[in-house]
Amino acid sequence: MKLLYLFIFLPTFTFCQVTGLIQGQNGKQLKPLYGAKVKLVGSNDGVITDDDGQFELILPRVLPDTLIISARGYFSDTIPVTKNDRFTAFNIVLFSEQLLPEVIVGYRKNTSSISRLKVLHVEELTSSELRKAACCNLGESFETNASVDVNMTDAVSGAKKIRMMGLEGIYTQIQLENMPFLRGIESSFGLETIPGSWIESIQITKGAGNVVNGYESMAGLINLEIAKPETMDRFYFNTYQNRMGKSEINLMSGIELNEKWSTGIFAYLSSQWGQLDENSDEFMDMPMGSYAAFLGRLDYEGEKMEAKLGMNIHLDTKLGGQIGSVDKPNAFGWNNDWDTDPSKFGLQINSNHINVFSKTGFFGKHPSQSIGIITKWKYEMIDGNFGNRFFAGEEKRAYVNIIYDDIIKTSDHKIKTGLSYNYIDIRQSTSDSLTSDRIENVPGSFFEYTYTGPRLTSVIGARYDYHLIFGEQFVPRAHLKYKLTERTDLRFTSGKGWRIPNYIIDNVSLLANSFAWISPDEIRPEVSWNVGGSVFQEFKMKHSPATLTVDFYRTWFENQLVVDRENNQVRFFNLENQSVSNSFQAELSIEPLRRFVIRAAYKYLDVRSLFGDSLQAKVMIPKHRGFLNLAYSTRNKRWDYDLTLSVFGKSRLAANLQSSDGFSAIFPRLNAQITYKLKRWDLYIGGENLTNYTQQNPIVEPENPFGPNFDATRVWGPIIGYNVYFGIRFAIPKPKEEND
């Protein structure tokens, strides 16, 4: 016990840390500087600023020392620090060096890290982390991450879904640059709508998010940042091919039109043209199809305002099912060129999507004062069939969020407040005479206060939304971060979330069986509470940096629309106060050798609800998962090596599924990739599921697909063996970046 007190209280007296805000003045405006380098001369320790220009730095025991602050394109500055500067918050302004030669600052940032500056538990994945794997689309962007699980929904459509803390992806709020993404109709098949090469970074937040982002963050929040025109390459090309017949082409280009305007163009084309049946069940292991996406964005940066405008379009077609149910097309054929055989179980899914978005910011009298306006308009149509069961959906959505930022006297006291509005016209139907049509109007308001102290930082917020069908909802949320020592952060979060379920499209993959659907008596809002926290510890192992993160979160539902798959039926019903999810994760990151990083994690999930009239674990969610990632880069930066091993524990199977003990098997998944870099070229080759583990008999009674026991939704493991792929990346950077 004495050792425990020593661990907790002794560092309190030796704790010495400074924080600060770095801003840049270019003669036109004052703005936070991302990536500015802050370095101590004596100890040689340093950090870089985050997206908001903020930093925190541990001071050495030997003081005084000198801080050097530098950023490319700005005059460097120096500040002496002494023991009296303990807990000091610096506000430093660097001035643009218009007349002097350019200064290049280099810094190696971790590709996957926990942000120590954020109050919430935020894990950031950079584009370098995403390139460690095939990363063809968003669904494959989490292969080197332990926090997010990605699973196949069924054995015929190839669709994937994510899980956070054991809960389905519909309970995780996914955003594209802080705008709603993958909501409604696109939730079931939308993970492949954003290519991985387009993504600049991913921020994964555990627990209920900030009220500014909305009311739907129930298990967590994932925000995607797309490459920015002012920083992306002038031209980028990526091509990919795997042994299973999947081909991809990816093009991007960023152009600075003048000092204020820049544009980015993104294009992506993918085709799956091989009919694979490696488990000999007469069903394609993955559907054939073609996918095309285009995104264009226009950014403006002025003295008094900034604006980002964009449009995104994608077209997706899938055909699968039994071998011979569709004629084999050419590599990039569209569905109109394909003929189907109605006597066989066929799959067809067509999806068309377009959205237009804008983000506008107006600056106030001082840098901390601004008004932001975010708008998004979306139209999506989807239709298809699983055998002789058809479904269709259509969605029109409008979103507006107005955010006002300011401070109260000092930057230690910040406020955000604003108004939001959601309009949703959604229509869903199936051939089983099930429909779910509604028009939603949801005006809302929110307020958030942030206090930043020497050790304690808190974010307290609340929002009020009024749904014109389901009435009012009040959402309180609180987040705390306490710096126990200069290397130890404690975080706590709690809050409420809610959403309106779309029971047909959220579970459309469950049409891949012969079981009858029993619709809910009524549609009611799903309401949940989330409480949790984490401990983040930095330390040294033989003079090499290391981190340990431990977190636990508990989510319980006041009301949840439960999907009961027991007893050869799919039954939906509202369940009050009996659904709960407990999530524990521990992750260790060490660098035993320079440029060789090891990350190991263990995750435990306990997700229970009412199934078959008894409280049981939710089906096909492994209670245990082990994770190991090894990453090494050579000294000359020519070669990158990456290996990821995940081991998934047993999961409960529904009562109608055949298994000797009612549980799935323990299975591994091993991925690896090698990348060779030569000037503007990247050549990479990799493999997935290199242990060649496959689930036996993923389809029940495939020989009788129209019989009463047919079921293609019992997927809990890989249904395809090893995959080998290769690819080429080529980039032409902007002239000012060629010497980086």
* CATH number, domain containing residue 70: 2.60.40.10
Query: Are 446 and 561 contained in the same domain?
Result: yes
What 8-state DSSP symbol labels residue 348? E
The amino acid present at 447, given as its one-letter code, is: F
- As to burial, measured by CB atoms within 10 angstroms (0-12 exposed, 13-18 middle, 19+ buried), residue 89 is middle
Residue 4 resides in a domain: no
Nearest to 214 by CA among 203, 223, 202, 225: 223
Task: Give pLDDT, residue 659.
Answer: 46
Percent of the chain with pLDDT over 70: 91
Residue 211 resides in a domain: yes
- Residue 86 banded pLDDT, cuts 50, 70, 90: low
Query: Are 580 and 432 contained in the same domain?
Result: yes
712 backbone φψ class: left, alpha, beta (φ>0; ψ -120 to 50): alpha
What are the CA-CA distances from residue 420 to residues 134, 224, 283, 459, 665 (Å)? Answer: 37, 21, 47, 20, 46
Nearest to 350 by CA among 319, 396, 321, 325: 319
Residue found by looking up tokens 């899914």 in the block: 349
Query: Are 495 and 633 contained in the same domain?
Result: yes
Query: Are 211 and 82 contained in the same domain?
Result: no
Task: Give pLDDT, residue 274.
Answer: 77
Percent of the chain with pLDDT over 90: 64
**Listed residues 47, 64, 95: the one ending a domain:** 95
Q: Terminal CA-to-CA distance of the chain, rounded, Å?
A: 52
The structural domain count of the chain equals 2
Residue 305 resides in a domain: yes
Residues 14, 15, 20: CA angle, nearest 5 degrees: 150
Distance from chain centroid for Cα 628? 20
Query: Are 77 and 168 contained in the same domain?
Result: no
Task: Give pLDDT, residue 92.
Answer: 86
Counting DSSP H helices and E strands in the chain, the numbers are: 2, 42
Residue 6 resides in a domain: no
Query: Are 505 and 595 contained in the same domain?
Result: yes
CA–CA gap between residue 667 and residue 692 (Å, rounded): 10
The CATH code of the domain that includes 629 is: 2.40.170.20
Nearest to 429 by CA among 396, 394, 388, 470: 394
- Residue 66 banded pLDDT, cuts 50, 70, 90: confident
650-685 pLDDT tens trace? 999 988 754 446 899 999 999 999 999 998 999 999
The yes-or-no verdict on residue 279 having pLDDT over 80 is yes
Q: Which residues of 327-354 are buried (b: 16+ CB within 10 A; e: fewer)?
A: eebeeebebeebebeeebbbbbbbbebe
Provide the strand spans (E) within 364-487. Answer: 370-386, 389-408, 410-430, 438-452, 456-467, 471-485
Task: Give pLDDT, residue 612.
Answer: 76
Task: Give pLDDT, residue 336.
Answer: 45
Query: Are 485 and 347 contained in the same domain?
Result: yes
Q: Which residues contact 172 (CB under 8 A, 6 or more apart)?
A: 162, 164, 217, 218, 219, 220, 221, 222
CA–CA gap between residue 262 and residue 347 (Å, rounded): 42
Domain residues for 71?
16-95
Query: Are 470 and 381 contained in the same domain?
Result: yes
> HSE of 412 in the Cβ direction (CA atoms, 13 Å)?
12
Q: What is the mean pLDDT of the chain?
A: 88
- Torsion over CA of 465, 469, 470 and 476, rounded to 10 degrees? -10
Residue 103 resides in a domain: no
Query: Are 57 and 118 contained in the same domain?
Result: no
Residue 102 resides in a domain: no
Provide the strand spans (E) within 512-543. Answer: 516-518, 526-541
The yes-or-no verdict on residue 690 having pLDDT over 60 is yes
307-358 pLDDT tens trace? 999 999 999 999 999 998 876 554 444 444 455 677 899 999 999 999 999 9
CA–CA gap between residue 622 and residue 79 (Å, rounded): 52
Q: Which residues contact 97 (CB under 8 A, 6 or more apart)?
A: 73, 74, 75, 103
| Contact indicator for 584, 620 with CB cutoff of 8 Å | no
Task: Give pLDDT, residue 253.
Answer: 96
Residue 2 resides in a domain: no
Question: Which residues make beta-bridge pairs with 626?
Answer: 602, 647
Nearest to 231 by CA among 594, 668, 731: 731
18-48 pLDDT tens trace? 788 888 887 667 778 888 888 887 777 788 8
pTM of the model: 0.85
| Contact indicator for 611, 621 with CB cutoff of 8 Å | no
Residue 7 resides in a domain: no
Least confident of 18-27, 151-160, 417-426, 719-728: 18-27
CA–CA gap between residue 648 and residue 668 (Å, rounded): 6
The yes-or-no verdict on residue 6 having pLDDT over 70 is no
- Residue 500 banded pLDDT, cuts 50, 70, 90: very high
Query: Are 581 and 460 contained in the same domain?
Result: yes
Query: Are 91 and 133 contained in the same domain?
Result: no
503-542 pLDDT tens trace? 999 999 999 999 999 999 999 999 999 999 999 999 888 7
**Listed residues 62, 95, 128: the one ending a domain:** 95
φ/ψ (deg, to 5) at 521: -65, -35
Q: Which residues contact 464 (CB under 8 A, 6 or more apart)?
A: 444, 445, 446, 472, 473, 474, 475
- Residue 628 banded pLDDT, cuts 50, 70, 90: very high
Query: Are 142 and 56 contained in the same domain?
Result: no
Question: Which residues make beta-bridge pairs with 346?
Answer: 321
